Structure 1
Amino acid sequence: MRILHTADWHVGKTLKGRGRLDEHERVLREIVGIAREHEVDLVLVAGDLYDTAAPSAHAQSLVVRTLLGLARDAQVVAIAGNHDHGPALDAYRPLASAAGITLVGAPRTADNGGLLQLTAGGERANVAVLPFLSQRYAVSAAELITRTPGENTGAYDQQLRDILANLTAGFRDDAVNLVTAHLTVIGGGFGGGEREAQSIFEYAVPATVFPVDAHYVALGHLHRRQRMDAPCPVHYSGAPLAVDFGEQENEPVVCLVEASPGRPARVTDIPITTARRLRTLHGTVAELAALAGDVGEDWLRVVVREPARAGLRDDVVAALPNALEVRIDPEFAAPTEARPRPSGGADRSPADLFGEYLAGAGVADARVEKLFARLLDEVG
């Protein structure tokens, strides 16, 4: 059986106010192409199809078209992540099922859709599905108030163990046993763009929550591609597109898994090549301008190594139109604690006070003072 494991699409994500649906469309089209090229039998999408619980119509259209494209040649199972609206995914289950797509928005018991039994690639498969489970549903409100954080963490851990025990009780020796879940495993490396409040501390569980007889565990939530140290193969596919500059060093892939009863799964990473790169550049405005011919379509975060001045951002963006964020290197920023507070006095003009502020902020630019004088004159 050939399985394609992907997760954390985050369709609808914006970057510094810039929409990225065109990038997502290229990446998801590539994933569909990979599934067809490698003739996969089953596709597992381990949560966070969307970046928000209320995705735009365009974002929903793209996800639906992608799932339908994958379902033309393979069975598709997609679960909700912490960014998705689980009830909305469950509402579309009947329609999706007619197209060969299984959507699971909320955790279910094994006998109520939590354990899928299917045949793919000539092999029988059991797929235990566990969408993201918020702690406030796993642990009652009363317990959250009366217990210590450590006790609540342990309670969440035990809840997941109990749920997975129920879901995987039907695993069989003559079938390929799979788990797909959206959660944080202790020791996992963050990709850089995750929602930390739903990833750390009480949301982290040990890899021992997964059963030894699982042939493969397909995880979503952490955006970095990684294999976890566990008694069975536990993998994060990572995000196929860097969602923020904290993920610029990640190598986007999807995981191609070959599994059969009685043998360990074999996992191959297939690179995603159409994702638009994110890069951070450092230098003076002149040095940055000299790099303009080498950045291509990459989205840029620019750290300027010279003092702040009026028009600095405009100069950077003129040289590097793809610069989405421009900041001053801390080495060239005036320390806030050293800035003198303008001394008061009714006899001091606004221009004097503003000039003193500029001196304390380390801004020496006659254009700023002229602009202030003009605005002051208009107001007066």
Structure 2
Amino acid sequence: MRILHTADWHLGDRLGRIDRTEDLRRAVERVGMICDNHSVDVLLVAGDLFSELARPDNLRETIEHWQQVFGGFLREGGTILTLTGNHDNENFCRTLGNAMNLASPSVGHMGDVVPGGRLHLATEPTLLKLADRHGGYHVQFILMPYPTPSRYFRDDPAPKYAGPDEKNARLMDAFLEELRRIQRHERFDRRLPTVLGAHINVHGATVGPTLFRIAESDDVVFRPEDLPDEFAYVALGHVHKEQTLGGRENLRYSGSIEKMDLGESGDHKSVTLLEINETGLAGLPQLVPLPSTPVVSIVLDHPTANMEVLRERYPEPCDDLVNLDIRYTAGVDSLEEILIELDKMFPRWYARNWRETGELTDRLATEENTPRGASFEETVRDYVRRELQNHSDEEREEILWRLDKLFKVE
């Protein structure tokens, strides 16, 4: 059974003012081509299929696009397995899952052998089996969505916590207990090769500058040893950078299919192709590279000089996603002209900020402008007054008033 492991599609997402729909649809189409070119049997998407920023009409159009891309794959007997991640809208995904179950009401019991040729969306911990289309054996799949109280606290979906640490610890315990419960289930067959799909953060993963729109204090972090060695393969989602964990080739993040923000600007995107036979993982998984949209940051600290260089480098409008940081000097640079020119060069700028630098000093205090032995408060006041020389009297008085309030706080 040939499986394509991917995750973190974030369909319907935005980056600043830019709608990423077209970028992400192109990525989905590339995944569809890989499924066809590599004779994939199962496409496994390990969570965050949709973006929490997606509008209802966008979600409808996303499903229609899926039908166009994967219709042939499904008609030929291919199967898509998905599970919900932290960015998936739970209500929408549960509604979608219920609608699919209405179309096939005999499917959905723990440990069922499910039919190929359709999409299976796991909104709660799930055990299912798929028959290999060619080898006459079954592969067992455990699908574990991102740990949230509504998914894993069966008796009390809205418990009270002393703090985030207690919440995360309880969610981790509930997730692992659910995994053990599935392994103890009468319909779990230890003789079959098993693939675990999960949307979680595992200790030791390289996550880049930050996790994608989630604070580390809000996340549940597992250990590699929490995920049993007995599984033929563990397909992880949540961390956007492709990597193995714990020295195990069969324990992997596939990474996202597109660069989602500036923190991923240096990533090389890919999907993971693997094969499971009747005894387990056959050979090493292979990475299939995916082209991705460049995400860059451009700093103009001397705009007049910088603009000439940029015009030479970008004679035509650029499709890169660009974060612009402009530092201009009043009376020297025309901010309005700079912004108009940059808008022509980078029509897909997603964020920009600017500030008037004036004659900024290099250091907070120097011997020439600060009396020797001045207190910290005096040094700060002198520095702020100098930096406010080019500002209006009203702005200067407002900022100095706020500074006085800060110094009076005990």
TM-score when scaled to structure 2?
A: 0.72
Q: Distance in 2 between matches of 1:104 and 1:14?
A: 24
SS at match of 1:196: coil
Deviation of the 1:159 alpha carbon: 1.2
Say which of 304, 310, 322 aligns to 2:335: 310
What are the residue-to-residue correspondences of 1:276-291 with 2, within 5 Å? 276-283=293-300, 284-291=306-313
> What amino acid does structure 1 have at the position aligned with 2:233?
Y
1:90-114, Cα deviation, whole Å (9 max, x unpaired): 2232248787324334224xxxxx1
Deviation of the 1:33 alpha carbon: 0.6
Indicate whether 1:298 and 2:324 are aligned: no
Say which of 68, 71, 75 aligns to 2:71: 68
Say which of 146, 152, 163 aligns to 2:178: 163
Which residue of the partner structure matches residue 346 of structure 1?
A: none
> What amino acid does structure 1 have at the position aligned with 2:142?
A
Q: Distance in 1 between matches of 2:165 and 2:387?
A: 49
Q: 1:329 to 1:183 in 2, by over 3 A?
A: farther
Indicate whether 1:78 and 2:85 are aligned: no
Which residue of the partner structure matches residue 94 of structure 2?
A: 87
Deviates more, 1:312-321 or 1:219-228: 312-321
Deviation of the 1:260 alpha carbon: 2.2
Indicate whether 1:234 and 2:256 are aligned: no
Q: 1:210 to 1:41 in 2, by over 3 A?
A: same
What are the residue-to-residue correspondences of 1:1-380 with 2, within 5 Å? 1-52=1-52, 55=56, 56=58, 57-73=60-76, 74-84=78-88, 85=90, 86-94=93-101, 95=103, 100-108=117-125, 114-120=126-132, 121-122=134-135, 123-135=137-149, 138=152, 140=156, 144-145=160-161, 147=162, 149-169=164-184, 172=189, 174-191=191-208, 192=210, 194-197=212-215, 200=217, 202-229=219-246, 233-265=250-282, 266-273=284-291, 275-283=292-300, 284-293=306-315, 296-304=318-326, 306-307=328-329, 310-311=335-336, 312-328=338-354, 338-340=383-385, 355-356=392-393
SS at match of 1:255: strand
1:195-235, Cα deviation, whole Å (9 max, x unpaired): 314x6455111122212110111111111111111667211
TM-score when scaled to structure 1?
A: 0.77
Deviation of the 1:329 alpha carbon: 8.4
SS at match of 2:311: helix
Decide whether the 8 Å contact of 1:80 with 1:182 is kept in 2.
Answer: yes
Decide whether the 8 Å contact of 1:207 with 1:230 is kept in 2.
Answer: no
Q: Distance in 2 between matches of 1:332 and 1:260?
A: 68
Decide whether the 8 Å contact of 2:74 with 2:117 is kept in 1.
Answer: yes
Q: 1:290 to 1:99 in 2, by over 3 A?
A: same
Deviation of the 1:176 alpha carbon: 2.2
Q: Distance in 1 between matches of 2:217 and 2:151?
A: 17
Q: Distance in 2 between matches of 1:305 and 1:354?
A: 16
Q: Distance in 2 between matches of 1:354 and 1:282?
A: 23
Deviation of the 1:4 alpha carbon: 0.3
Decide whether the 8 Å contact of 1:153 with 1:203 is kept in 2.
Answer: yes
Unaligned runs of 5+ in 1: 109-113, 344-351, 361-380
Decide whether the 8 Å contact of 1:242 with 1:250 is kept in 2.
Answer: yes
> What amino acid does structure 1 have at the position aligned with 2:266?
E
Deviation of the 1:12 alpha carbon: 0.6
Q: 1:17 to 1:41 in 2, by over 3 A?
A: same
SS at match of 1:164: helix
Aligned residues: 345
Q: Distance in 2 between matches of 1:226 and 1:305?
A: 38
Q: RMSD over aligned Cα, in angstroms?
A: 3.6
Q: 1:13 to 1:173 in 2, by over 3 A?
A: same
Deviates more, 1:27-36 or 1:174-183: 174-183
Which residue of the partner structure matches residue 363 of structure 1?
A: none
SS at match of 1:26: helix
Unaligned runs of 5+ in 2: 108-114, 301-305, 362-379, 398-410
Decide whether the 8 Å contact of 2:9 with 2:257 is kept in 1.
Answer: yes
Decide whether the 8 Å contact of 2:42 with 2:79 is kept in 1.
Answer: yes
Q: Distance in 1 between matches of 2:173 and 2:85?
A: 20
SS at match of 1:92: helix
Deviation of the 1:181 alpha carbon: 1.1
% same residue? 22
1:65-85, Cα deviation, whole Å (9 max, x unpaired): 445354234111111112223
Q: Distance in 2 between matches of 1:238 and 1:90?
A: 24
SS at match of 1:129: strand
SS at match of 1:156: helix
Decide whether the 8 Å contact of 2:149 with 2:157 is kept in 1.
Answer: no
